[in-house]
Amino acid sequence: MNLQYKITDLVIMIFLLLSFPSVKAQKSNTNQPNVLVIYTDDHRYTGIHALGNQQVETPHMDNLVNEGVSFSNTYLMGAFSGATCIPSRAMLLSGRNLFDLEGQGHVIPKEHITIGETFKKAGYYTHIVGKWHQDNKSLSRSFDSGDRIMGRGVYLTDHFRMPLWDWDKRGEYKKDDAYLLIYNNKGELVRRALNTKDKRGPIGTENNGPHTSEIFAESASEFITNYDKKQPFFMYLAFHAPHDPRQAPEVYRNKYQTENIKLPPSYMMQHPFDNGNMVLRDEELAPWPRTKIVAQQHLADYYAIITHLDTQIGKVIEALKESGDYKNTLIVLAGDSGLAVGNHGLIGKQNIYDEDGVHVPFILAGGVIKNKGKKIETYNYIHDIFPTICEITNVAIPNSVTGKSLLPVIKQETTEHRKTTYHAYKQFQRAYRKGEYKLIEYVRAKDFNKRKGEFESGSRVTQLFNVKKDPWETIDLSFQPKHKELLNQMKREMKDKAIELGDKKENIYGEKYDFWDYYY
C-alpha cells in the first residue's frame, strides 16, 4: 500500500524510524499495518530449513527468515493435555501462560481477552481461516468473519477428507452442517455433506480432494485479494499441517526418499525409560522399536508435508504482494509445538525435550519489518507473541495478558527477554532452563482413564543437558560429580519457579494429580 505523507507526517515518521528501526512507522490509526498470523501444527523449530539446516525444503519460510526477524529460542511452556495444541493455541490467543489458562485450555473465558477481540477493539476487521481448537463462544467473539473452519467436533483423520464448516457468527457449528470438498467424476471441486460411509483415514489422496493446506491457503488468498474495507485487517490463518496423518501430494512425497533421510543425533530405537505417557495415540503411529527405516520413513513424510505447506504459505504471501498490501502487513509465523518423529525413540510431542516437544519457530516478517535477517537468541514463550504483535502495531495490550512483549529486544534496547524458561507436561514431567543448562525431572505418578481406571505410570528420573553444546539433548550430565552443585541449584530454582508460577493442581481446573505430590 503506497502512503502519501504530508510534511508533518513525514517528520513523525522519521522520528519513529529513528527510535524504532525494525518497524515501519504509521501515519495514524487508520493506516495501521495489517496483521497476518500463520500458526502451524506440530511444527518443530528445525522444520524450517533456514532455522535448523535439516534436509527439509522450505524456500518460502526461509525467505521469511531472511527478510524478517527470527527467534532462535521460542518455546511452548507445556501442557496438561496429550493434545498439546489445545493449551498452545489458548496461550497464543490469550497471551496467558500455562498456569493462567482455564483448565487445559479448551475454553477461553470471557475475561481472558483474545487477540482477535483486541484487534477488533482497535478498529481492525478480524478474520479466521482454518483450525480452531477452543470453544465456540470465544471463536465467535474473536472474529468478524471466517472461512473453512475446522475442528468443531468431526474429524476423519485425513488431510484430503477434512470436515469443514462455513463461518457461523452464532457459533453453533452443528454436525449436520459439516461438509467435505471433493472432486466429482468430472474433476470439478464440489462440496458434499458427511454421511455414514465416511470412515476415518488416512485413506484419501489428491485424487479425492484438495489437501487442507491448499484449502486454507486458497481461502486466505481470496480474502486478501478481495478485501476492500478501509479498516486494516487481522487474519488468523491456522493450518492443520504438518500434524499427522503426514499426507502430501505424490510430487512432494517423491522429494524425500526414505533411504536418503539423515536421522538427527537424538534418534533412538526406544526411549530409555517410561516418561509417563508412552502409551497413547501419537506413540501408536509407529511400531516399537523405532528402527532406522521406521524413523526415516516418518521423517520423510514429515518433511514432505512441511514442503507442501511451505508452497501454500508462499501462495498467501504472493497474494499479499499482488494486492499491494505486503508493504503494510506484519506477517507472524509460529508453530504450536515440537514433534519427536523418532527423536529419543518417541514419535509424538507429549514430552518437554526441545525439538521433540517445546521448541518452535517464530518469525516476524512482511513489509513492516525492516531488520532483514536478524536472529534473536533470548528465551521467550509462545504466549509472548500476542503482546509483541500489539506493541509493534501500537495496539493496547489487554490487562488479562500475562506474556511479555519482545519489542524492547527487537528495538535493541536490551538483549535479554527472559533469563529462564519453565516447562510442564501433565503430572509426569517438569523442566527448568537457565543459561546453557536444562534440567528435566520425571516422576512416577497416578493417572486415570475410562478404560483402565486409576493406574500408575512414569519413572523417577533426572536429566541435565548443556543445551548450548548439546541442542539435541543426547548427553545426560546429571550423574557426573562435577555437575552436582549445579544440579542441586537448578533443582532449587525449579521449585521456586513452580511456586512463583502457581504450578499446583488447585490452580489448574479439573486436574486430579500433582507432579509435586510425587517429586522428592
Mean pLDDT of 70-74: 98
Contact 289, 270 (CB under 8 A): yes
pLDDT exceeds 60 at position 24: no
pLDDT exceeds 80 at position 18: no
Higher pLDDT, 373 or 27: 373
Mean pLDDT of 152-174: 94
Predicted confidence (pLDDT) per residue in 110-137, tens digit: 999 999 999 999 999 999 999 999 999 9
The 3-class SS string of 133-186 reads CCCHHHHHHHCCEEEEEECCCCCCCCCCCCCEECCCCCCCCCHHHCEEEEECCC
> Residue 361 and residue 73: Cα distance in Å, rounded?
8
Contact 447, 513 (CB under 8 A): yes
CATH of domain 422-518: 3.30.1120
Residues across the chain: 520
As beta bridge partners, residue 125 has 233
> Residue 125 and residue 325: Cα distance in Å, rounded?
15
pLDDT at site 441 = 98
Q: Sorting pLDDT into bands at 50, 70 and 90, what band is 451? A: confident
Considering the domain delimited by 34-414, tell me its CATH architecture.
3-Layer(aba) Sandwich (3.40)
Q: What is the DSSP letter of 513?
A: -
Whole-number mean pLDDT of the chain? 93
Tell me the backbone φ, ψ of residue 361, rounded to 5 degrees: -75, 145
Q: Quickly list DSSP for 339-360.
A: --TTBTT--SS-S-SIIIIIEE
**Around Cβ 144, how many Cβ atoms within 10 Å?**
18
Predicted confidence (pLDDT) per residue in 406-442, tens digit: 999 999 999 999 999 999 999 999 999 999 999 999 9
The model's pTM is: 0.93
The domain segmentation of the chain, as residue ranges, is 34-414, 422-518
pLDDT exceeds 90 at position 16: no
Q: What is the DSSP letter of 317?
A: H
| CA distance between the termini of the chain | 60
pLDDT at site 2 = 40
The 3-class SS string of 220-266 reads HHHHHHHCCCCCCEEEEEECCCCCCCCCCCHHHHCCCCHHHCCCCCC
pLDDT exceeds 70 at position 25: no
Contact 406, 382 (CB under 8 A): no
For 382, the grid coordinates are: 509462545
